[in-house]
Amino acid sequence: MTVSKMSDIDQPKRVPPMEAAPEYAALQMGELSELLGYSLKRAQLKVFEDFLRCMAPLQLTPAQFSVLLLLDHNPGRNQTEIANTLGILRPNFVAMLDALESRDLLTRMRSPNDRRSHVLTLTDKGGATLTRAKKLVATKHEARLIELLGPANHVALLGMLAIIAQDF
């Protein structure tokens, strides 16, 4: 049987599914709303979904964007350093870099100091893409969040999440 792969031309790969309003009576959520993990996961999915939507013209996932951003601020680092900082395991980072390198957004160069390691560098196209991406994130993605929460809450939320991410 052939794989029915509807490969259209330049359509965004993943369009998040629209949620349809369920026609049955709303269920009692119980203590679920008080469960931080549940709300965290739901919120994270929504935020990533919106990120992908905003970033559709550049076809960058949140993880890919974070790599470009980190490379821009940390030139001359190798794969292990970048991957560890982002919480990505080295084996899984390889394919990710393959994709970005094949799109000419970054380069792998053997380090002259340590020829085991690859120095990662943003290409010109990578830098330009990152600039466009940051603009999209700021004006479309984060702006919408700030509008929803208010600037003070937005800052407070970032602070609390950072605390959880590092101290919990």
- Residues between 112 and 151 that touch DNA (CB under 7 A): 113-118
Looking at 94, 109, 161, 162, which residue binds DNA (CB under 7 A)? 94
Whole-Å CA distances, 110 to 86, 92, 120:
21, 19, 9
Residues 41-80 that bind its own copies (CB under 8 A): 41-48, 50-51, 62, 66, 69-70, 72-74, 77
Measured between alpha carbons, how far is 66 from 137 in angstroms, rounded to an integer?
A: 12
Residue (36 or 95) nearer to its own copies, CB: 36
- State the Rg of the chain over Cα: 19
Instruction: Kindly report the length of the chain.
Output: 168
Per rule CB under 8 A, is residue 154 in the interface with its own copies? yes
Residues 40-59 that bind DNA (CB under 7 A): 45
Measured between alpha carbons, how far is 119 from 79 in angstroms, rounded to an integer?
A: 7
Of 66-74, 108-116, 124-132, 155-163, which part binds DNA (CB under 7 A)? 108-116
In sequence order, the β-bridge partners of residue 41 are: none
Per rule CB under 8 A, is residue 116 in the interface with its own copies? no
In sequence order, the β-bridge partners of residue 88 are: none
